């Protein structure tokens, strides 16, 4: 490089603006879009496969391919979530909560664009976290040991109430079922097998991807087949509604986008927390702060945008944790660490000090990838929506067959496909009898973190590890407050003179 | 210009791979001398771990080198799950003709003690490729200066010290038990979900020390976040750090990656494969990739590997409980 | 029952936007409400009928049964090593079992005690739909078993043709061309691009 321009920022920038790197960027964008749209094929898997090809490239080019796939998949996976209720990757679980209801009520157009804009803002915020706060924030994450992570997860579990969309107790039952599913397999502390019924595949637990595709995508299709009426055999061409949000909607979206960005950026810093958890948390935080709480889960554009912003903002935080601590921020980063080692990049506290130009190159790659993908997506979405104009039977066949092959591809395992079908049936039962699937997924994601960290904390120093940790105590207190607050408020509202105050519904509706 | 050229080639390679046109390597590499009739068709090499990570990278680095040596296509396929047993059970059921192979790790010797019906004698050992020895490390400001200090304190306070390890029943958890047996002390094992989190727990002082491979400890050592009290090697492996044996603890241990075939595979076929793997692991490309991960190449031929796997199984039988 | 069907027919094509599945609930069927619920618009009437109360009890019963099953299953977990005690491998499953049972009990009480249950009923299923689902599931299980055993493109093609026929597609274009396109896309994406051995 030119010695006059020796600042790390410029070095980083110039290493990205080279034809070879830009070429890699474009390849990454295309692969990522494909990967995102396809249920079952996750960003983790695509990047793992790409790592085989990219080893021969230089670090900047290789990172360009991988990070761009990661970024680009973040847009793509929203599309099937919104249009057919099937999350393209786990990051878009929260997009199904409001995105699909919106699409069904003829607002697919605005849902897709708001989601894409929210994702872009989230990605940029996450990138800023990496660029500005990298080291100090990663230091903060170092205070999170087993006890603190347990506190965080308890706080996360209180989201079950919100994700239940009004059916609180059925939601709790659904969440407990998810927590139970998470215990199938080998115990994280003693390695004894639990609920495996002698089936060897279950030793690695239920397949998370199979569960979410089953509960959301396949269950929705089965339910549609179940209620299919011949007289309405051809699906009406859905109105797309307007494409770009008008001024009023834009204003309405500011708050959820801010909440989502903050939630996602913060959660990304915690090791092992990925876009799936962050998306749901962002959605729930926006719900709590919203004036239109009742609309959440039934087609709220705020909820959709907040969730998508949050799950996208995780990227920056994840990369920060990975680079600054050397601990994988999520499953994608776990794969990328392997490749970085081969390139001679040693993630860890010294990376920011020794190779600041590399950090800036990553920041540039993320920003560029975000913008390119946003533009491509806005152009492409109208053609994606054509999918909805297909008569229902064709759509069902596409979803069912693609989900099956995609699930098989995760681990070359027929057993995973069987699980997906079984969870499709369980999901159908849940739809028909009013159990919300969101809490089950939340339980499945948070369950292993909750159990293993609680037991680790107790192993280390008994219960004292938890009640002597200020962070854990604070988080658990907030969690209790969140759960008890509506009850308290209702109790207050029962006093004479307060009756005219609108009492919010509490746990007494099923 | 050079970079552009390289990237162009890589892009073409990606495209070719993506469109499936990457053809077999021709016959140029030359097969084995002993039995030229093997191999005559594609070989399937299963990886019992998920994509990404050391094991997967080893397989993918070996793949082109093996193709060159053997003159046929080697198809790498991940079959993760259930501590690797899904791949191991699959391998046991394959035809013993040398065309179905799997990478194996120490689990082949240990899984029988974790309620899996699986033993080294179910397989034909082919060759070892790498080894990654372990170490005992403490946070940098730990009061313990030597492993002797640590043992002495533990003798007075049984069960008080906690050690992090990458997972319950993992070979490093087992090594902790081995060290306890050897020195007559008692520690509390705190299993984590993988090597990186267990080492981070030691950095954050959530645990008193960690037993893990040198490969993953080394970066934190270089950054001054951890101190290594002893390496579990036969020869000194880190500057200024004694081996456990030098400190009077007769124990060394390393994780390893090897290749196995179904039981009953003909010995001349095993030998051809073993030679090819030996050449691949000696090549500069392979060594370079390993060095960057702080892993060592290590070759054992079929007979040596078979004996080694059984010895490991006997040893772990006492340590895993 | 009958009168509601007439009501339905009257509102053909005017399905309320809030209807959960938006398909319109036009065709008269003989499905009993015991098997399934009514559409949202009918839910209010349905509440008063005793038959529906049994249906409302299903979620509570299932929650409690699942909770008990988890709890019984946790007895099968044998603790290994010295780390068990009260806080061993069966602690967490037992906790989830307890939550399941308590939640089920609350739902049960709500159904029994509360007069107005704000339950949203899903759109009614049809006999044909039920049979189709049964056939689809059987077919998909068979299709999954065929992975790796039979050539991927043949089984995928056959499976999509059969499914489409089942769902009422009769045109040759739909029955042959469409499955061919799906098979080609999947083959290219997985077998060729991702190199998944299918």
Segments of C40-190 assigned E as strands: none
Q: Which pLDDT tens digit goes with each residue over C47-69?
A: 434 446 678 888 999 999 999 99
pLDDT above 70: residue B230? yes
| Mean pLDDT value of segment A262-270 | 84
Q: Are A1 and A11 in contact (CB under 8 A)?
A: yes
Is the Cβ pair B191, A189 closer than 8 Å?
A: yes
Q: Verify whether the Cβ–Cβ distance C118 to A510 is below 8 Å.
A: yes
Range A262-267 average pLDDT: 87
DSSP A405-472: HHHHHHHT-HHHHHHHHHHHHHHHHHHHTT--HHHHHHHHHHHHHHHHHHHHHHHHHTTHHHHT-HHH
Residue with tokens 């097998």: A193
Q: What are B178's two structure tokens?
A: 């081995």
Nearest by CB to residue A52, choosing from B60, B200, B207, is B60
Contacts of B3 in chain A (CB under 8 A): 18, 20, 58
Contact flag C195-B20 (C-beta cutoff 8 Å) = yes
* Cβ separation B207–A344 shorter than 8 A: no
Instruction: Give the integer Cα–Cα distance in Å for A283 and A256.
Output: 8
**Residue B106: both structure tokens together:** 């120490």
Question: Residue B196 and residue A49: Cβ atoms within 8 Å?
Answer: no
Rounded distance, CA B287 to CA A241, Å? 59
Confidence band for B136, pLDDT divided at 50, 70 and 90: very high
Q: What is the pLDDT of residue C194?
A: 66
CA distances from A270 to A120, A141, A482 (A): 21, 6, 21
Average pLDDT, chain A: 82
Q: Parallel, antiparallel, or unpaired for β B209-213 and B123-139?
A: antiparallel
| Whole-angstrom distance, CA of residue A492 vs CA of residue A499 | 9
pLDDT at A241: 61
CB-based contact, C148 to chain B, within 8 Å? no
Pick the residue of A17, A20, A193, A272 with the most B CBs within 10 A to test the interface with B by mutation. A20
Q: Residue B203: closest CA among chain A residues belongs to which residue?
A: A142
CA nearest C78 in B: which residue?
B115
Distance CA B96, CA B45 (A): 14
Q: Where are the alpha helices (DSSP H) in chain B?
A: 2-18, 53-70, 85-92, 107-110, 147-156, 171-183, 195-203, 214-222, 267-282, 284-292, 302-319
pLDDT at A222 over 60: yes
Q: Do the Cβ atoms of B20 and C193 come within 8 Å?
A: yes
DSSP SS3 for B258: strand
A1: part of which helix (H) or strand (E)?
none
**Average pLDDT of span B242-249:** 93
pLDDT values of chain C reduced to their tens digit, one per residue, 198 residues: 333 333 333 333 333 333 333 333 333 333 333 334 434 334 434 443 444 667 888 899 999 999 999 999 988 887 665 444 567 888 999 999 999 999 999 989 888 887 655 556 677 778 888 899 999 999 999 999 998 888 888 999 999 999 999 988 888 888 999 999 999 988 887 777 666 666
Return the higher-pLDDT residue of C155 and A14: C155
How many whole angstroms separate alpha carbon B133 and alpha carbon B215? 8
A200-214 in b/e form (b: 16+ CB < 10 A) is bbbbbbbbbbbbbbb
How many CB atoms lie under 10 A from the CB of residue A440?
Answer: 29
| Residue of B19, B20, B321 with shortest CB distance to C81 | B321
Give the pLDDT confidence score for residue A6 in this predicted structure: 56
Cis peptide preceding B196, ω within 30 of 0:
no
Mean pLDDT of chain B: 86
Nearest by CB to residue A201, choosing from B53, B61, B86, is B86
- Distance of residue C103 Cα from the nearest chain A Cα, in angstroms: 5
Q: How many residues does chain C have?
A: 198
Confidence of residue A238 (pLDDT cuts 50, 70, 90): low
Q: For position C177, what pLDDT does the model report?
A: 92
* Sign of CA pseudo-dihedral B24, B25, B31, B36: positive
| C25 vs A130, higher pLDDT | A130
Q: What pLDDT, on the 0 to 100 scale, is given for residue A84?
A: 85
| Residues written for chain A | 510
Q: Does B23 touch chain C (CB under 8 A)?
A: no
Residue with the two structure tokens 């050592």: B221
pLDDT at B152: 94
Give the angle subtended at the CA of A290 by the CAs of A284 and A294, to the nearest 5°.
80
Q: Which residue has the tokens 């659904």?
A: A174
State the pLDDT at residue B265.
93
For the stretch A400-410, pLDDT in tens is 998 898 888 77
- The whole-angstrom separation of Cα B204 and Cα B213 is 18
Instruction: Give the DSSP H or E segment for A140.
Output: helix A134-141
Measure CB to CB from residue A397 to each of C114, C123, C164 and give the nearest one.
C164
pLDDT at A74: 83
Set of chain A residues whose Cβ sits within 8 Å of the Cβ of C89: 187, 189-190, 192, 194
Q: What is the dihedral of CA A162, A163, A165, A168, to 10 degrees?
A: -70
pLDDT of residue C12: 35
> Using CA atoms, how far apart are residues A471 and B200, in angstroms rounded to an integer?
18
Which chains are adjacent to chain C, needing at least 3 Cβ pairs under 8 Å?
Answer: A, B
Tell me how far apart the alpha carbons of residues C120 and C104 are, in angstroms, rounded to a whole number.
18
* Backbone Cα Rg of chain A: 23
Q: For tokens 């001054």, what's the residue?
A: B224
Nearest residue of C to residue B46 by CA position?
C197
Residue B273 class from Cβ within 10 Å (0-12 exposed, 13-18 middle, 19+ buried)? buried
ipTM above 0.85, yes or no: no
Structure token digits, residue C175: 């029955």
pLDDT value of position A499: 43
Is A416 in contact with A410 (CB distance < 8 Å)?
A: yes
pLDDT at B34: 46
pLDDT-derived band at A337 (thresholds 50, 70, 90) equals confident
- Mean pLDDT is lowest, of A46-50, A102-106, B123-127, for A46-50
Q: What's the CA gap between A335 and C17, in Å, rounded?
A: 44
Verdict on whether the full-model pTM lies above 0.95:
no
Q: Which residue has the higher pLDDT, A432 or A232?
A: A432
Distance in angstroms (rounded) separating the CA atoms of residues C139 and C154: 14
Residue of C77, C79, C82 to mutate, testing the B interface (most B Cβ within 10 Å of its Cβ): C82
Q: For residues B157-162, give the mean pLDDT.
A: 92
Q: Which helix (H) or strand (E) holds B130?
A: strand B123-139
Report which of residues A485 and B69 the model is more confident about.
Answer: B69
Amino acid C52: pLDDT: 63
Quote the minimal CA–CA distance from B139 to chain C in Å.
25
Between C30 and A381, the higher pLDDT residue: A381
pLDDT > 90: percent of chain A: 17
Provide the pLDDT for residue A312: 92
> pLDDT band at residue B82, thresholds of 50, 70 and 90?
confident
Residue C164 contacts A where some CB pair is shorter than 8 Å: yes
CB distance A169–C103 less than 8 Å? yes
């Amino acid at each position: 490089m030119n010695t006059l321009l020796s600042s790390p920022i410029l070095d980083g920038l110039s290493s990205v603006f080279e034809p070879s790197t830009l070429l890699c960027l474009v390849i990454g964008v295309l692969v990522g879009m494909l990967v995102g749209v396809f249920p079952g094929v996750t960003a983790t898997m695509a990047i793992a496969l790409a790592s085989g090809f990219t080893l021969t490239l230089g670090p900047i080019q290789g990172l360009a391919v991988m990070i761009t796939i990661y970024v680009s998949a973040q847009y793509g996976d929203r599309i099937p979530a919104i249009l057919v209720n099937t999350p393209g990757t786990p990051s878009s679980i929260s997009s199904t909560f409001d995105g699909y209801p919106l699409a069904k009520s003829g607002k697919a157009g605005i849902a897709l664009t708001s989601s894409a804009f929210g994702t872009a803002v989230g990605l940029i915020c996450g990138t800023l976290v990496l660029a500005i706060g990298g080291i100090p924030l990663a230091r903060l994450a170092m205070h999170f040991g087993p006890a603190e992570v347990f506190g965080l997860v308890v706080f996360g579990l209180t989201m079950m109430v919100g994700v239940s969309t009004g059916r609180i107790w059925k939601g709790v039952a659904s969440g407990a079922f998810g927590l139970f599913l998470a215990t199938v397999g080998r115990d994280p502390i003693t390695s004894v097998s639990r609920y495996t019924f002698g089936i060897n595949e279950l030793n690695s637990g239920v397949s998370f991807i199979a569960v979410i595709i089953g509960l959301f995508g396949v269950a929705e299709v089965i339910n549609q087949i179940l209620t299919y009426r011949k007289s309405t055999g051809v699906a009406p061409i859905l109105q797309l509604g307007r494409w770009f949000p008008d001024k009023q909607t834009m204003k309405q979206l500011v708050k959820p986008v801010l909440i989502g960005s903050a939630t996602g950026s913060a959660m990304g810093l915690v090791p092992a927390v990925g876009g799936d958890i962050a998306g749901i948390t962002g959605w729930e935080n926006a719900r709590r702060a919203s004036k239109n709480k009742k609309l959440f889960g039934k087609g709220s554009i705020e909820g959709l945008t907040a969730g998508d912003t949050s799950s996208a903002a995780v990227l920056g935080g994840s990369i920060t944790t990975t680079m600054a601590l050397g601990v994988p921020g999520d499953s994608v980063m776990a794969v990328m660490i392997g490749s970085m080692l081969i390139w001679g990049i040693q993630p860890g506290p010294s990376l920011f000090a020794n190779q600041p130009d590399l950090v800036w190159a990553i920041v540039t790659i993320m920003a560029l990838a975000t913008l390119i993908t946003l533009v491509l997506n806005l152009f492409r979405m109208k053609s994606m929506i054509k999918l909805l104009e297909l008569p229902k039977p064709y759509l069902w066949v596409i979803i069912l067959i693609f989900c099956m092959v995609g699930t098989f591809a995760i681990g070359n395992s027929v057993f995973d496909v069987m699980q997906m079908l079984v969870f499709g049936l369980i999901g159908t039962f849940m739809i028909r009898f009013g159990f919300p699937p969101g809490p089950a997924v939340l339980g499945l994601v948070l369950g292993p973190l909750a159990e293993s960290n609680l037991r680790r904390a107790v192993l280390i120093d008994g219960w004292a590890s938890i009640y002597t940790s200020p962070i854990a105590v604070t988080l658990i207190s907030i969690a209790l407050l969140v759960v008890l607050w509506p009850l308290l408020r209702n109790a207050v509202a029962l006093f004479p003179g307060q009756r005219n105050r609108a009492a919010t519904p509490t746990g007494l509706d099923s | 210009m050079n970079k552009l050229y390289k990237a162009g080639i890589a892009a073409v390679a990606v495209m070719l791979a993506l469109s499936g046109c990457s053809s077999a390597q021709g016959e140029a590499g030359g097969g084995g001398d002993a039995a030229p009739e093997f191999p005559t068709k594609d070989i399937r090499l299963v990886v019992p771990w998920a994509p990404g990570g050391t094991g997967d990278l080893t397989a993918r680095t070996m793949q082109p080198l093996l193709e060159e040596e053997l003159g046929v296509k080697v198809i790498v396929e991940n079959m993760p799950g259930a501590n690797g047993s899904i791949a191991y059970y699959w391998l046991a059921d394959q035809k013993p003709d040398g065309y179905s192979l799997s990478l194996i790790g120490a689990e082949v010797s240990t899984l029988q003690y974790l309620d899996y019906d699986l033993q080294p004698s179910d397989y034909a050992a082919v060759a070892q490729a790498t080894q990654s020895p372990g170490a005992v490390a403490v946070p940098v400001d730990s009061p313990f200066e030597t492993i002797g200090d640590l043992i002495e304190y533990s003798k007075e306070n049984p069960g008080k010290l906690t050690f992090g390890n990458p997972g319950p029943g993992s070979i490093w958890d087992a090594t902790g038990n081995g060290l306890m047996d050897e020195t007559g002390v008692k520690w509390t094992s705190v299993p984590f979900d993988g090597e990186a989190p267990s080492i981070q727990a030691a950095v954050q002082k959530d645990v008193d020390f960690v037993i893990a491979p040198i490969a993953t400890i080394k970066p934190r050592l270089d950054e001054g976040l951890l101190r290594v009290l002893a390496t579990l090697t036969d020869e000194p492996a880190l500057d200024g750090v004694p081996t456990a044996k030098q400190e009077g603890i007769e124990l060394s241990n390393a994780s390893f990656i090897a290749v196995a075939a179904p039981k009953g595979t003909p010995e001349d076929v095993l030998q051809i494969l073993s030679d090819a793997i030996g050449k691949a692991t000696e090549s500069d490309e392979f060594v370079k990739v390993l060095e960057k991960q702080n892993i060592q190449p290590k070759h054992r031929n079929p007979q040596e590997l078979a004996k080694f796997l059984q010895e490991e199984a006997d040893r772990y039988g006492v340590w895993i409980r | 029952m009958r009168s509601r069907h007439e009501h339905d027919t009257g509102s053909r094509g005017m399905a309320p936007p809030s209807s959960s599945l938006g398909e319109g609930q036009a065709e008269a069927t003989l499905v009993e409400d015991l098997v399934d619920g009514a559409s949202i618009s009918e839910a209010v009437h349905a509440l008063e009928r005793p038959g529906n109360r049994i249906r409302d009890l299903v979620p509570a019963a299932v929650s409690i049964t699942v909770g008990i099953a988890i709890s019984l299953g946790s007895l099968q977990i044998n603790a290994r090593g010295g780390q068990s005690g009260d806080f061993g491998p069966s602690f967490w499953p037992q906790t989830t079992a307890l939550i399941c049972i308590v939640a089920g009990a609350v739902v049960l009480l709500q159904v029994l005690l509360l007069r107005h249950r704000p339950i949203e009923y899903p759109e009614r299923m049809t006999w044909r739909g039920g049979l189709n689902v049964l056939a689809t599931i059987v077919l998909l299980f068979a299709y999954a078993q065929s992975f790796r055993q039979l050539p991927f493109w043949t089984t995928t093609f056959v499976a999509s043709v059969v499914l489409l026929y089942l769902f009422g597609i009769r045109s040759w274009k739909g029955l042959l061309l469409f499955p061919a396109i799906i098979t080609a896309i999947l083959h290219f994406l997985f077998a060729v691009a991702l190199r998944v051995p299918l």
